[in-house]
Amino acid sequence: SVLLFPVLILSPMCRPCKTPTLQMSLCVYIYIYTLSLFSPCSLVPFQTTPTTFGDLRAANGHSAQRRRVTSGPPPSGLQDWLHTFQAWSGPERLLALDDLIDSCESNQVKHMMQVIEPQFQRDFISLLPKELALYVLTFLEPRDLMHAAQTCSYWRILAEDNLLWREKCREEGIEESLVVQRRKTLKPGFLHSPWKSAYVQQHRIESNWRTGDITSPKVLKGHDDHVITCLQFCGDLIVSGSDDNSLKVWSALTSKCLRTLMSGNIVISGSTDRTLKVWDAESGECVHTLYGHTSTVRCVHLHDKQVVSGSRDATLRLWDVDSGECLHVLTGHVAAVRCVQYDGRRVVSGGYDFMVKVWDPETETCLHTLQGHTNRVYSLQFDGAYVVSGSLDTSIRVWDVVTGGCVHTLTGHQSLTSGMELKNNILVSGNADSTVRVWDIRTGQCLHTLQGPHKHQSAVTCLQFSRSLVVSSSDDGTVKLWSLATGEWIRDLVALQSGGSGGVVWRIRASNTRLVAAVGSRNGTEETKLLVLDFDLTDAQK
pLDDT in tens, 195-228: 998 888 888 888 889 888 888 888 888 887 788 8
Regarding predicted confidence, which is higher, 522 or 526?
526
C-beta separation of 441 from 425 below 8 A? yes
**Higher-confidence residue: 28 or 126?**
126
Instruction: Choose between 193 and 69: higher pLDDT.
Output: 193
Question: How many angstroms separate the CA atoms of 462 and 522, rounded?
Answer: 17
Query: Within 13 Å of residue 107, how many CA atoms lie on the same side as its CB?
Result: 1
Span 301-316, average pLDDT: 95
SS3 212: coil
Q: How confident is the model at residue 51 (pLDDT cuts 50, 70, 90)?
A: low
Task: Give me the pLDDT at residue 488, please.
Answer: 95
Q: Is the pLDDT of residue 2 over 60?
A: no
Q: Which of 158, 220, 215, 196 is nearest to 518 (CA)?
A: 220
Span 500-514, average pLDDT: 91
Rounded Cα gap, residues 517 and 68, in angstroms: 74
Provide the pairing of β-strand 315-320 with 276-279.
Answer: unpaired
Give 379-392 pLDDT, tens digit per residue: 999 999 999 999 99
Measuring CA to CA, which residue among 506, 315, 522, 334 is closest to residue 419?
506
Reported as a single tens digit per residue, the pLDDT across 345-375 is 999 999 999 999 999 999 999 999 999 999 9
Say how far apart CA 29 and CA 236 lie, in whole Å: 51
The whole-number pLDDT of residue 307 equals: 96
**What integer pLDDT is reported at residue 21 of this predicted model?**
47
Q: Are 284 and 259 in contact (CB under 8 A)?
A: yes
**Residue 217 DSSP symbol:** P
- Stretch among 85-94, 333-342, 406-415 having the lowest mean pLDDT: 85-94
